[in-house]
């Protein structure tokens, strides 16, 4: 009888510990479930608000103060030229900003957000919404006027084809990839970024993100030309975009013979500063290049940029200032978009190297910071966007300390990658 009682006690104890472990496991990911639930709710409210209008949410309209800009850029107000692009009318401030058209460089992110929210939750309504907003972008497959067609179509149709394969999506992606390849210059060894501005042949660090479209289409078609062009672009960018400390210029413009015309940082504090989102684009892009090529040169570049970010970002929550060289004041805006991109990149990087835990841990810290009340919006606020406190182009007076759709996109992508690495699914949270 005594042995039987001891056995019963042991069974009770075992189940008690099992229950505690299960509760602890669920409690450990409370932040994650809340992040997903808030994201899905915000997106659904936005869809309901937009209705049947062909509108793609981009940000919230913000203005700027010249003294503030001069302080951030550390320039003399007396000589600073107000050459900023868009001054929103006073009545627009604080309202939702939509993409100017389907050809806006950010047009693919909102459909992409819906696809990731569907992937994370399995909610069929989100899938229907994702299809609807993705279809708006179908004419973009014929557009050739910018490298951003990679962003526009891969974030929308790329996710659509990944989660709901269709011949029409595949054909749109292939045609877009062909148009992107048409911007490649053999003599220079790069894909041209912009068709505007003072530059002869501008290539921006952001262009590293559009290589994923080429990698994806190379797999879809079994045609190596897309991958070859992507990797050549990455090689040329590696040669010319980076400083000895592995920080990146924003823009490198080339002469027609392939020599460098000039280097600058158009959206950063100054030409030699480390613009936060530019560094995030870099670590993401070279991680993708290593994934596709297994070339150790690309891996080393990704690791070097990751180390730069982890050393240079001094904020307690690891969310960077809009530029690593910006003045460290309470008024200096953060850039949640740079944090989201970095988190997504470092989670993938952690799976490609033996010593990946350091990258995963840093990405987890970023995600937990972004999922805190300081950055994650409350449902029904923030004009339906998920994250607060991103900075688009401060020197140009554009989207300063505001929600931006691509911050939400890479945040959701990072959450999805985090769950994949952890072996989690939504129902288990």
- Tokens of residue 243, six digits: 């400083």
50: number of Cβ within 10 Å? 19
User: Would residue 351 be called left, alpha or beta, if left means φ above 0 and alpha means ψ between -120 and 50 degrees?
Assistant: alpha
Length of the chain: 429
CA 164 to centroid of chain Cα atoms: 22
- Tokens of residue 16, six digits: 């008690």
Residues designated as active site: 148, 206
* Strand partners of residue 404: 59
Q: Which residue from 172, 99, 182 is spatially nearest to 138, judged by alpha carbons? A: 172
What is the distance between the alpha carbons of residues 294 and 352, in angstroms, rounded to a whole number? Answer: 9
């Amino acid at each position: 009888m005594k042995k039987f009682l001891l056995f019963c006690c042991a069974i009770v104890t075992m189940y008690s510990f099992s229950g505690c472990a299960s509760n602890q496991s669920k409690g450990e990911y409370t932040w994650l479930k809340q992040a997903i639930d808030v994201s899905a709710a915000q997106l659904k409210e936005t869809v309901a608000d937009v209705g049947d209008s062909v509108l793609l949410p981009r940000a919230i309209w913000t203005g700027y103060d010249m003294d503030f800009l001069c302080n951030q850029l550390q320039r003399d107000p007396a000589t600073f030229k107000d050459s900023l692009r868009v001054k929103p009318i006073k009545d627009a401030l604080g309202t939702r900003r939509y993409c100017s058209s389907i050809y806006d460089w950010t047009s693919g992110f909102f459909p992409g957000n819906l696809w990731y929210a569907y992937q994370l939750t399995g909610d069929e309504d989100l899938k229907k919404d994702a299809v609807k907003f993705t279809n708006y972008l179908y004419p973009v497959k014929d557009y050739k006027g910018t490298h951003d067609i990679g962003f526009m179509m891969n974030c929308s149709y790329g996710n659509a084809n990944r989660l709901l394969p269709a011949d029409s999506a595949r054909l749109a992606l292939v045609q877009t990839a062909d148009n992107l390849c048409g911007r490649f210059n053999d003599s220079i060894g790069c894909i041209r970024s912009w068709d505007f501005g003072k530059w002869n042949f501008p290539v921006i660090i952001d262009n590293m993100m559009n290589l994923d479209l080429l990698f994806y289409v190379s797999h879809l078609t079994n045609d190596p030309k897309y991958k070859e062009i992507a990797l050549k672009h990455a090689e040329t960018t590696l040669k010319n975009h980076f400083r000895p400390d592995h920080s990146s210029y924003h823009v490198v413009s080339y002469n027609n013979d392939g020599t460098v015309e000039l280097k600058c940082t158009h959206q950063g504090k100054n030409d030699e500063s480390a613009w936060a989102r530019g560094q995030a684009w870099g670590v993401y892009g070279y991680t993708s290049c290593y994934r596709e090529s297994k070339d150790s040169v690309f891996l080393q570049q990704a690791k070097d940029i990751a180390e730069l970010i982890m050393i240079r970002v001094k904020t307690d929550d690891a969310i960077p200032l809009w530029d690593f060289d910006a003045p460290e004041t309470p008024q200096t805006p953060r850039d949640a978009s740079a944090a989201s991109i970095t988190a997504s990149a470092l989670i993938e990087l952690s799976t490609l190297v033996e010593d990946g835990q350091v990258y995963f841990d840093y990405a987890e810290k970023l995600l937990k910071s972004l999922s805190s009340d300081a950055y994650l919006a409350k449902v029904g606020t923030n004009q339906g966007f998920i994250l607060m406190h991103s900075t688009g182009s401060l020197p140009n007076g554009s989207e300063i300390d505001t929600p931006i759709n691509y911050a939400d996109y890479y945040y959701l992508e990072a959450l999805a990658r985090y769950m994949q690495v952890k072996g989690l699914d939504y129902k288990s949270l």
